[in-house]
Amino acid sequence: MAYHRNYNRAQSGEPKEFEEKVVQVNRVSKKGKGGNKISFAALVVVGDRKGRVGVGLGKAADVSSAMQKGVTYAKKHLITVPMRGTTIPHEMRVKLGAAKLLLKPAPPGSGVIAGGAVRAVVEAAGIRDVVGKILGTANKASNVRAAFQALRMFKQTN
């Protein structure tokens, strides 16, 4: 489930350049000398819906810091996605670790037909018509990274 993050921009009057979507928040713990050390990992997708998108994983002792770290990392590692109208230029198959992903162009008006992890990345990039299928693992982090890798590999064809 994706959560939208809107900081106090309404009060500051600052325009929101990027849309931030939290794909997953994971509570992790490790054994330490004084007991369990609990921290959080937040997987965040950042995009301007005009062809730029980034993915970040932030880890911290509390959720909000983890999300902020993920957003900061994602903004530093943005990519520009080539598009043909409202869809992608061509079909793409990606295998990244256990994640296998298929992205196909769709006719205008089709919408984003894809699972949650891939949908977050594709929508943040501003692609409005695409068909996506996750064929490998159900791990959201792996699937988001695979979708990001697929968008990075596109070539503009006219």
CA 20 from centroid of its chain's CA atoms: 9
Last residue of some domain: 79, 102, 117? 79
Plot region of 11 (φ>0 → left; ψ -120 to 50 → alpha; else → beta): alpha
CATH number, position 13: 3.30.160.20
The counts of H helices and E strands in the chain are 4, 9
The reported pLDDT for the residue numbered 92 is: 95
pLDDT at 96: 95
Residue 91 sits in which domain range?
Answer: 82-153
Which ranges in 48-115 belong to alpha helices (H)?
63-76
User: Rounded to the nearest 5°, which phi and psi values hold at 150?
Assistant: -60, -45
Is 158 part of a structural domain of the chain?
Answer: no
Record the pTM: 0.86
Q: Is residue 104 part of a domain?
A: yes
State the pLDDT at residue 149. 96
Domain annotation covers residue 58: yes
Looking at the structure of the chain, the number of domains it has is 2
Q: What is the pLDDT of residue 10?
A: 47
Task: Tell me the DSSP string of 19-36.
Answer: EEEEEEEEEEEEEETTEE
Distance CA 143, CA 150 (A): 10
**Residue carrying structure tokens 């919408």:** 111
Say yes or no: 105 and 141 in one domain.
yes
- Say yes or no: 109 and 135 in one domain: yes
One domain for residues 105 and 93: yes
Residue by residue, pLDDT tens for the chain (158 residues) are 555 555 544 444 456 789 999 999 999 999 999 999 999 999 999 999 999 999 999 999 999 999 999 999 999 999 999 999 999 999 999 999 999 999 999 999 999 999 989 999 999 999 999 999 999 999 999 999 999 999 999 876 55
